[in-house]
Structure 1
Amino acid sequence: MMHDADQTGKSRQFSLSILSGAIAFATAISGTAYAAEIEEVVVTAQKRAENLQDVPIAISAFTGESMKEMGVENLTDLGKFTPGVEMNNDTPLQPTYSIRGIQTGDFTVGSDPAVAVYVDGVYTGRGAGAEVPLADIERVEVLKGPQGTLFGRNATGGAIHIITKKPQADDTAELSLTAGNYGRQSSDLLLNRQLSDNLYGRFTASNNRRDAFADNLAGGFSAGNQDTQTYRASLLWEPSASTEVLWRADYGVMDQGSALRSSIVPSLQALDGGTDVFGDYALDTPTIEDRDSFGTSLTVTSDFENFTLTSITAFRKFDAHLQQDEDGTANPDYMFGSANFDEQEQFSQEFRLNGATDTLKWTVGASYSQEKLEHLTEAYFTSGSLESFAVYEGTKMAYEAQKAQAEAAGIDFPELTQTELEDLAVMQRQYYRDLGLEGIAAASFVYDLMLQSGQVDQLLAAFGAPAGITGNMLNSQAMAMQLLAGFQPWVAGDVPWNENVLNTGDYRSTAVYGDFTWSLTDKMDLTVGARYTYDEKDFTIQTAYQNAIPIALTGGNVPLMDANGNVIGVLPLPALQLPAQPFGMAFYNNGQPMLDSKLNDSWSDISGRIVLDYRWNDDVMTFVSLADGFKAGGFNSLNFGPGVEPSFDQEDVVNLEIGVKSSLFDNRVRLNASVFSYEYNNLQELDLVGSPIPSYNLRNSDAEGTGAEVEVQWAATDNLFIAGNYSYLDTEFTKYGYIEAIGETPADAEEKIGQPRVSTPESKFNVMAEYTIDMASGADVRLRADYNWTDERIGSISDPSRIIDDYQLLNLRAGWNSASDRYAAALWVQNATDEEIAGGYGGTGAAIGASPAWRYMPRTYGADFTVRF
């Protein structure tokens, strides 16, 4: 649950009693069995196949089998068990990946992600196409820290590389079935065939369905259910002993309800019949999450006498539709829905040369990519939700004014959280309704906008007001009452109010790079790498904010005021009923319409790394590295409000890291650790800002971070395997950009300095234990437990008091494998203790005073069955 800022340091301590007891029991029954070795893990983090322990980069690697046993279905699941990584996503169509606190949370397409996701060596340009089911996966590599040299652009935080399994030289078939609570039904079908002496094929079909885990009290539709199908095919041709041609293709369909977001405002929960973030919900905007995706690639690898040539040609595309209820209620006074439509396609080509001599390993390459996209953002309101927005804005302004007066007088004034202010605004809105003044807040708000844009002066001239009378001389409260006659029925009628922005983009990126590792001595290597990147982007913005409002005056005398607020006379106004008046961007841009924009910009950078590693013996290696990463600038997709810059600068990260990788006690213990510190310049920070109309905009800020990560694996016996990891992360803003033209000031930005980055827990801890029981028949039983504890974190940069509590997760699994390895079965439970865990607070609904939250899955359980032919 959320709590105030004064409780920030009071995290409850994680409890390991359940898991430690299981480990103690497993150790006790393991006897004195001979200790096994830890298997070698081969990764391609440096664009060549190497033992994980030989790579001087902080990497967390997961095999497909280990992810299945952990209950991992997608990258969001994987993030919970990866040190230094957060992937708190409630929807796969708007994912945010954070590595060591480096992320970009933009849900539109004007910017790029800060963590690069690759599938089989192919960069996936948009997050909506990156979150794929992890079925038939060889492994996933999570590279931490800037990877600007070998992986290039948009890897300032790091890179995630998903590697699918290649066709094999055998004939196999495998069928896996899963059933669980909440109607969970999943199946994975795998076929592998040797088609000829040098041609092999592989096909995978995956299906995953699950019902919603709570009920919509408003009826009509569900939220949070799942329904996806994924198909993969690949062909491996070996025309000669030195050449390999690998073709891959995948197609995916998603057709489900989108994320379940429920209100956290107590008064709105009560009005919805007692809803709760961790119980049933009430929504009035249908939730939709649809995506069709397709990708194909051709990888050609040829070995020559002194080098290897690799060519990767790829094409990917997807169409996606995401619709959500942003306010988390079914209350018509707070109706706020959104929809995002995406069409994206990308082409990429990379050529790479790898070579090695006795003292030198080298990689050089060149790449080109082009991405074409179209993104439509729609927002659905009613005139009633605009009244709620106006009441909320007025409540905040009144609170800040009263607080300032009290502090000036030396009087203590209660500090209200954002949720408390939202709750107060709900009660204020009901108070206006009880007084028969529904619509007064919207009338006041619109009148202020008309005054700022000069439209009041135009009306006065049309009425024939005496010369010298201006809108600034009219009593604002009296004028709001004049307008109330038109606004009252309009607000009560909940008239639809829609807004949309259409973006198109054509992005091109070209790069050349080289990376060289010299063996200075038998034990010491020096690696130097650099990449030159040139990005060019064409971008368009087409806005449609032209709704209509009623303008009516009841007529009568309105007080005239001087500059000091003294009444100096009255102005008689006629009763007037005008046709509905356009109400759009002109009100926010000094009376001038906001023109559609066609933008073009380019950015270039040289990023690199220097790494010195020293192998003390065959089992211990230490390294120190200095690396930087680059992410191109971009465009504010909404381009909303006067003074908002259409584009923002590129961001850069410089990371210093010291690490150790070791395999100890005859390779029974693997211990890897690192400490790091980075400077983050011009980070692209998304925030809900603006006055009088708030809007999401990106601005450039600076930040820094320091941290440490430790990963341990222990093959305690032939039967018992234990592993764990811990990460510590301390981040803070060192400069926070502000947009003065839309109401922000340097003082507002100053408040953010020293605050940690959003959604970055200070500490995170994971531990697992797996015990294998060998049966007399040759079969075996595996008992496994995975435990995670994640520290509290800030949920909103706009409101540091909005803290997401720490949480713990316990997953359990008991599996059986037949002696022939033909059959396997397992029982599993995830979130075994049924913890109530909030994944995030706030979001777009905060703009109208109706912040929602989303939760992790409650306890789920089920069974797996696998048969191999």
Structure 2
Amino acid sequence: MDNQLLGCSVVALVLAALPATAQASTDATATSPNTDGLEVITVTAQRREQSAQDVPIALTVIGGEELERRNIQTVSDLENSVPSLEVDAQFGGGQPQFRLRGVGGTDYAANNTNTVGVYVDEVALPYGVMTQGALFDIERIEVLRGPQGTLYGRNTTGGAISVITGTPTRNLRVGASLSYGRFDQFDGEGYVSGPVSNTLSARIAVSSQQGGAWQRNRDTGEELGDRDRNSVRAKLRWEPSAITTVDLQGDYSRDKSDGRGLQLLNDFTDASGRFYPADTDHRATGWGISTTFAELLGVDTDAKPFRNNEGWGAQLRVNSDLDWGTLTAIVAHRDFTRREFNDWDATSSNEAGTYFFNDIDVESGEIRFASRQDRPFRWLFGAYQSFETVDGGFMSDFTQAASLRNIFSTSYNQEVSTTAGFGNIEYDIAPTLTFSGGMRFEHERRSLNGFRTEIIFPAYQLRATSDRDLDMDEWSGRAALDWQFSAVAHLYASISRGVKSGGFTTYNTGIPSQNDPYDPETLVAYEAGLKSNLLDNRVQLNLTGFYYDYRDYQLQGVIYTGASRVGRITNAPRAHLYGAEVELSAVPVDGLTIVQNFAYKMGEFDEYMAPVSATIDPATGLYSNIQYEDYNGRRLNLPKIDYKGSVAWAVPVADWTVTPEVNWNYRSERWSESDASTIPAYWLANANLSLTPPGETFAVTLWVRNLFDEQVQETRNRFISARTVSTNPVRTFGVRLNYSY
């Protein structure tokens, strides 16, 4: 990796710090306790420490304890707690797609970047499949809504999810959590943190998630859904001087869990004539694998849907506080291996078995220069560079699909290089009025090399080959005014432009033109908001309104060429989206905390001619007379409403504290393009009852997930002929023990 500038900066910072006298630093905390109301949450959403309420951006922060109460185990689970956030696993697999305020895509391949940026300790995870490691030892998660790029290393149109993990401490700390629940579900995690020497501290955290097989085969009764996910993270913090901190960390995770089983929406008859009635039992599913496909994968002929994913990473961060400001440099390496088998027809028939094999390598570096923050004029400038490779592809078993009866293999090598420069300024025009503005310019080159789609059974046939390149030179930016019109409230208004990279469609195809690149997506966002602390900080009320103007909106489409109709990611020239959000947090009396979040959004196409049908010439077997539908005024495929909230009441009983808590999530209906049907609205509720003794060194919690046993439909699909649906788990319950020292 050509990171000479960043590497030299890191070395220079360390060497400059060595002669200085070392001194201990205080432990950073995510929150400041407030016995008279809501706690004050400190965030780094703008690359400096601020109260979350002071940041003029639509921002949601979730702390580590709240993550546990809401059963948030992966980034995907955040959709049940963050306004306007939706996360869907494509076809029930391990490739999540994130949408913030309706901005997001649908793609089950592993080679295209997220519309919503995901970061762990400031390092980007650019591909969705990389984000599914366990969330453990978390200090907080910050979710920023709207285009990002002037402060973050990558550029996105939807927003950013920033995960901040626990940092080494200068005093000894130990924590552990053990949970056991229905379906033999076990979750355990723990950490140890403390000093190694006067200038060195360390932290190690581990996590294990086992069991939980809530699904069962409708034919055999065999269970599906066991988790087998283990992770470890180690951190070192060296403070060689009063001005310099050096953080080194590494992590490793292995996920050998069962895959998610799909359910049949309608009665289905396979190519052999076997009849499968639609599933009515929430736990029912089905799967199968042909002997030939099992031999190709090197697995048993009775294999279940499975994952065998492995990820690891390392990063070095150096921060030095100098007379003029702060210099920060980060270099990182991320590696991820995906091996995943899914059954997309949800039966023992082999109509749509799919196996993914990908090796992802990401190297990145970032350097930032920031002024002192106690001045009326503040600035930040930086540079970012990354190199990415995505090797692999997937195989599809259609041996019992009536129209195919073969096995496809699609493979490719994708390389991406990105270089960007960014900057941001803030100026206090008056004591109560601040202007901020930022700009980013990015050059990116994507290359798809050696793309091949082949039929490998029953007889070899090369279907398509291609090599493609895509260059992007784009700018993004933001300008905002923030008016502190009273001591307890401020208004802000902003306009920003974001860019999401283009890319390549890497599905099975016989048409090389399917790989023609789709263009970058640009979005201009107009936003205004109010943030307030009322009634002596017992009430926080935040209001936001937004309007998004799309250009080259990326979406799943189809193309008709020759004798083939194939899926392809394409661009709609214009679309728009608008909405509003209300976030309310209140402590009306000591111990009682109420959180209410409501979001509304609506979007429409402004310009898009969609191919919807074509005629097959019986003489030639080729498509002709392609019919197009004008989508002008047609709704975008997103739910209008989501409503999320929680109520918790800490009640003293003798010397103990008893805390009942309930949280919920409502999402309105939305249209499924892949199934041409409406996914129904749902309510999902969880409940907890915690008992804490004096001293608060440990707590016992009784928990229930999916309290009312709702059948929540996530995605619907019609991959070949079977109509299937991916659903969330049934009601589960258990007990959890927490200990801290």
Same fold (TM over 0.5): yes
C-alpha deviation, 1:542, in angstroms: 3.1
Q: Deviations over 1:746-766 (max 9, x none)?
A: 85341x4433333x2101112
1:831, 1:743 → 2: CA distance?
Answer: 48
Counterpart of 2:695 (choices 804, 807, 820) is: 820
Larger Rg: 1
User: Aligned partners of 2:427, 2:544: CA distance in 1, in Å?
Assistant: 23
Matched, 1:299 2:174: no
Are the counterparts in 2 of residues 253 and 290 from structure 1 also a CA contact under 8 Å?
yes
Contact kept in structure 2, 1:757 and 1:797, CA below 8 Å: no
Matches within 5 A, 1:696-735: 696-701=567-572, 702-735=574-607
Find 2:608's aligned residue among 736, 739, 743: 736
Equivalents in 2 of 1:649, 1:717: separation in Å? 53
Aligned CA RMSD, in angstroms, stands at: 2.3
Match of 1:672 among 542, 556, 562: 542
Residue pair 1:372, 1:506 contacting (<8 A) in 2 also: yes
**Deviations, residues 701-748 of structure 1 (Å, cap 9, x unaligned):** 132100000100001111211111100010122233546999698853
The match for 1:851 is: 723
> 1:89 corresponds to which letter in structure 2?
A
Q: 1:362 aligns with which of 379, 392, 411?
A: 379
Pairs aligned (count): 678
Please say if residues 36 and 716 of structure 1, whose CA atoms lie closer than 8 Å, have aligned partners that are also in contact. no
Contact 1:115 1:154 in 2 (8 A): no
What is the match of residue 309 of structure 1?
Answer: 327
Q: For the Cα contact (< 8 Å) 2:116–2:158, is it kept in 1?
A: yes
1:369-395 per-residue CA deviation (whole Å, 9 max, x = no partner) reads 11112022111111x4133x7xxxxxx
Aligned twin of 1:518: 427
Counterpart of 1:605 in structure 2 is 474
1:314 positional shift:
0.6
Pairing of 1:550-589 with structure 2 (within 5 A): 585=463
What's the offset of the Cα at 1:198? 1.6
Q: AA paired with 2:570?
A: R
Q: Please give the alpha-carbon distance, in whole angstroms, between the structure 1 residues aligned to 2:624 and 2:259.
A: 33
Is 1:810 equivalent to 2:689 in the alignment?
no
Matches within 5 A, 1:155-304: 155-219=156-220, 222-268=223-269, 271-272=275-276, 275-276=279-280, 278-285=282-289, 286-304=304-322
Q: Tell me the secondary structure at the aligned position of residue 820 of structure 1.
A: coil
- Structure 1 segment 520-669 matched on structure 2, within 5 A: 520-546=429-455, 585=463, 594=464, 596-638=465-507, 640-641=510-511, 643-644=513-514, 646-669=516-539
Deviation at 1:518, TM superposition (A): 0.5
Residues 277 and 370 from structure 1, CA distance in 2 versus in 1: closer, same or farther, beyond 3 angstroms? Answer: farther
CA shift in 2, pair 1:833/1:739, >3 Å: closer
Q: 1:338 aligns with which of 354, 372, 378?
A: 354
User: Of Structure 1 and Structure 2, which has the larger fraction of its residues in helix?
Assistant: 1
Structure 1's unaligned 5+ residue stretches are 1-33, 390-495, 550-579, 586-593
Change (3 A) 1:204 1:682: same
Q: Aligned-pair distance for 1:348?
A: 0.6
Distance 2:59 2:626 in 1: 39
Give the drift of 1:260: 1.2
Q: For the structure 1 residues 77 and 644, does the alpha-carbon distance in structure 2 shift closer, same or farther, using more than 3 Å as the test?
A: closer
Asked if the contact 2:371–2:379 (Cα under 8 Å) also holds between the matched residues in 1, the reply is: yes
SS at match of 1:517: strand
- Who is 2:121 aligned against? 120
| Equivalent residue number for residue 84 of structure 1 | 84
Residue aligned with 2:132, SS? coil
Contact kept in structure 2, 1:738 and 1:746, CA below 8 Å = no
C-alpha contact (below 8 Å) 2:257/2:308 kept by paired residues: yes
Q: Distance in 1 between matches of 2:57 and 2:345?
A: 43
Equivalent pair of 2:214/2:283 in contact (CA under 8 Å): no
Tell me the residue number matched to 1:20: none
Match in the other structure for 1:351: 367
Q: What is the correspondence of 1:399-548 to structure 2 with a 5 Å cutoff?
A: 497-546=406-455
Letter in 1 for 2:57: I
1:522 is displaced (CA, Å) by 0.8
Instruction: Indicate conservation of the 8 Å contact 1:218/1:284, yes or no.
Output: no
When residues 743 and 616 of structure 1 are mapped into structure 2, their CA distance, relative to the original with a 3 A threshold, is: farther
2:138 pairs with 1:137? yes
- CA distance in 1 between counterparts of 2:255 and 2:223 reads 15
> In the TM superposition, what is the alpha-carbon distance from 1:83 to its structure 2 partner?
1.0
Q: Secondary structure at the match of 1:516?
A: strand
Please state how far the C-alpha of 1:808 moved relative to its aligned partner.
0.6
Alignment CA distance shift 1:517-1:744 (3 Å):
farther
Distance change in 2, residues 1:342/1:355 (3 Å): same
Q: How far off is 1:643 after superposition?
A: 4.6
* Counterpart secondary structure, 1:196: coil
| Secondary structure, counterpart of 2:514 in structure 1 | coil
Structure 2 counterpart SS, 1:68: helix
Contact 2:498 / 2:523 at 8 angstroms: preserved in 1?
Answer: yes
The verdict on how the C-alpha distance between 1:274 and 1:100 changes in structure 2, with shifts beyond 3 A counting, is closer
Q: What amino acid is aligned across from residue 707 of structure 1 in structure 2? A: G
Which whole-Å CA distance do the structure 1 matches of 2:498 and 2:411 have between them? Answer: 30
Contact residue 222 and residue 257 of structure 1 kept, 8 A: no
What residue number does 1:864 align with?
A: 736
Counterparts of 2:70 and 2:598 in 1: how far apart (Å)? Answer: 17
Q: Which residue of 1 aligns with 2:633?
A: 754
Name the CA shift for 1:532/1:86 in 2 (closer, same or farther; >3 Å). Answer: same
Q: Distance in 2 between matches of 1:306 and 1:727?
A: 42
Amino acid at match of 1:754: G
Unaligned runs of 5+ in 2: 1-33, 290-303, 615-621
**Greater shift in the superposed pair: 316-325 or 356-365:** 356-365
- 1:221 positional shift: 6.0
Instruction: Report the CA distance between 1:345 and its aligned residue.
Output: 0.9
Distance 1:743 1:613, change over 3 A: farther
The alignment partner of 1:616 has SS state of strand
Q: Once the two structures are aligned, what percentage of the paired residues are identical?
A: 27
**Structure 2 Cα separation of the partners of residues 200 and 55 of structure 1:** 31
Cα separation, partners in 2 of 1:610 and 1:744, compared to 1, 3 Å: farther
Instruction: Tell me if the contact between 2:649 and 2:661 (Cα under 8 Å) persists in the aligned partners.
Output: yes
Contact preservation (8 Å) 2:268, 2:722? no
Asked if 1:46 is matched to 2:46, the reply is: yes
Q: 1:689 to 1:185 in 2, by over 3 A?
A: farther
Question: What's the secondary structure of 1:848's corresponding residue?
Answer: coil
- Relative to structure 2, which stretch is displaced further, 694-703 or 92-101? 694-703
319, 322, 336: which one pairs with 2:337?
A: 319
SS in 1 for 2:548: strand
